[in-house]
Amino acid sequence: MNIEETIFGQYQEMTYHKIILENDHQVSIEVTDLGARIVGFNVPLASGEMVNIVEGYQDAKEVFDLHSYYLGATVGRVAGRIADGQFSLNGETVYLDQNEGKNHLHGGETSIDLDQWNYTIGEDDESVFVTFEWTDPDGRNGYPGNVTFKVTHRLTNNNAWIIDYDVETDKETIVNPTNHVYFNLNANHETILNHQLQIQASRYMPVDDSGLPINEEGKDVTNSIFDLRNGRLLTDIINSDDEQIKAKGGLDHPFILDDNQAPSLSLSQPDNKLAVDIYTTAPSVIIYTMNGNDPNDRERQPHQAIAIETQFLPNAMNFSNVPEELIINPGKAFHSRTVYQLNDENI
């Protein structure tokens, strides 16, 4: 196994770093201290060709120029949308940055995904890893508490990329981090319409025009295009006549994961037989099929990749029953783990 450090680029007189973790099978992941994000997941095919199966920024400047994608970023403090940019905590209303119309999105306009994190690297018998750490200050974007995030990206010798999230605070607050990774398993990075997606979820969350869930309970997937328990091709989903799909131009929806189902999700490309099985401690996942592209981006096209965001449901802090895991205090930390396991017999 091997660890390499290099320069990811400069932006506004800041120099950012990239860390490459490689195992004994020539599989590697590339992560950067700019937002504790992944920018590469390199896999050797049976043909000998090396393919990067995630959509990542090329350098630091592109991160800031095309920020709207959040490619591969650690997103927080709270991932997803919060209605009207506010929530209640201990009977008091907390007002947040409203950076998507009247709503709050992904922690605010400038949040932890654009910070330069501290990091340490390490290796054990079965893996190489880098742990990023950042303390988000009290009051930033409206959130209470000095909140310290530790995010560990680990590559194992059995070809699993593992993310561990550990979050602590000095004042009661809320957190709901995720990684905004986008996958594309095609060697030539054509659109992901030829991918198959399987999700062990009996319920999904219909969303309104702003992307917020329309209720707290979700909707049974039975007899709908959202029933992915046996897998469907993305082209069949994206081109379906379902009103929810048509309104968004594809998937942009939360799924409530069934208990005791492993893996929770699988993404595969039948032609080259590449697949990723995803295991997570999170109760839900948001699937986004990149239904549009940034107007400043001349390289990517709609449906270029698929985002798989494991987390708690969007706007859950405004539900009638707020998940207790979202609320942390000085005596109660947050932990979550997601595993992306390569499933390719040729590696």
Half-sphere exposure of 183 (CA within 13 A, CB side): 25
Which of these is catalytic: 180, 195, 253, 303? 180
Closest C-alpha among 100, 69, 110, 108 to residue 292? 69
Three-state SS string over the chain comes to CEEEEEEEEEECCEEEEEEEEECCCCCEEEEECECCEEEEEEEECCCCCEEECECCCCCHHHHHHCHHHCCCCEECCECCEEHHHEEEECCEEEECCCCECCEEECCCCCCHHHCECEEEEEECCCEEEEEEEEEECCCHHHCCCCEEEEEEEEEECCCEEEEEEEEEECCCEECECEECCEECCCCCCCCHHHCEEEECCCEECCECCCCCECCCCCEECCCCCCCCCCCEEHHHHHCCCCHHHHHHCCCEEEEECCCCCCCCEEEEECCCCEEEEEEECCCEEEEECCCCCCCCCCCCCCCCCEEEEEECCCCHHHCCCCCHHHEEECCECEEEEEEEEECCCCC
CA trace torsion 205, 211, 213, 219 (10° rounding):
-20
For residues 278 and 263, the answer to whether their CB atoms sit within 8 Å is yes
Closest C-alpha among 224, 169, 229, 233 to residue 198? 229
Reply yes or no on whether 180 is catalytic.
yes
Reply yes or no on whether 309 is catalytic.
yes
Which of these is catalytic: 55, 62, 168, 309? 309
Report, as residue numbers or ranges, the catalytic residues: 180, 309
